[in-house]
Amino acid sequence: MPVKNSEKLRETLIKLLNEREVIKHGKFILSSGRESDYYVDIKRAVTDPEVLRVIARMIALELIGIDRVAGPALGAVPIATAVSLESDKPLLMIRKEKKGYGTSKLIEGELVEGDRVAVVEDVTTTGASLLKAIDAITGNGGIVERAFVVVDREEGALEKFRERGLELVPLLSVSDFR
């Protein structure tokens, strides 16, 4: 289910992503190991303040009842930071794995048991990496019922989330660019 907020913001985001040519055609290997004839080069867009501002506004409008915003490293950290600033909700950064030095934390930022956390991601294919980040949060006492993704590739992530009783909310789907 797409976000319920402003259609104008959604149209603006599509326009900005098209202008930045985030959909690349060719032969690509995805992080899931799958081969694809297109690639969503979202990092090109989420390093742009104008794009980040629109994404942050879209997600921030949906954060009623949320205590914290989280993003898995590396791609979602700029998005989570922008949403944190827009919504005035504290930020959590989820590492791919515990660091082997210092405090050895998997989660950076303060997560209090029972905190309701919205997790954001740049692109989903199968949803596996986003679910791993959610598991890190729930394993440390947080409650995640909803996650947001800028672009869903429509290759199974929504179904995997439903199977787990979680809601994945895409701002856009790859079919919005066809």
* CA 51 – CA 57 distance, rounded (Å): 10
At 139-163, the pLDDT tens digits run 999 999 899 999 999 999 999 999 9
Reported residue count of the chain is: 178
Domain boundaries, the chain: 7-177
The answer to whether 27 is annotated as binding is no
Separation of alpha carbons 56 and 77, rounded Å: 12
* 96 annotated to bind ligand: yes
Which burial class, exposed, middle or buried, applies to 10 when counting CB atoms under 10 A from its CB (0-12, 13-18, 19+)? middle
pLDDT digits (tens, 9 = 90+) for 67-86: 999 999 988 999 999 999 99
Residue 1 has pLDDT above 80, yes or no: no
Residue 24 assigned ligand-binding role: no
Question: Cα separation of 81 and 77, whole Å?
Answer: 6
| CATH number for the segment(s) 7-177 | 3.40.50.2020
138 is in an annotated binding site: no
Q: Tell me the per-residue pLDDT of 17-35, one tens digit each, with 9 for 90 and over.
A: 999 999 999 999 987 788 9
Residue 121 annotated as part of some ligand binding site: yes
Q: Which residues pair with 173 in a beta bridge?
A: 152
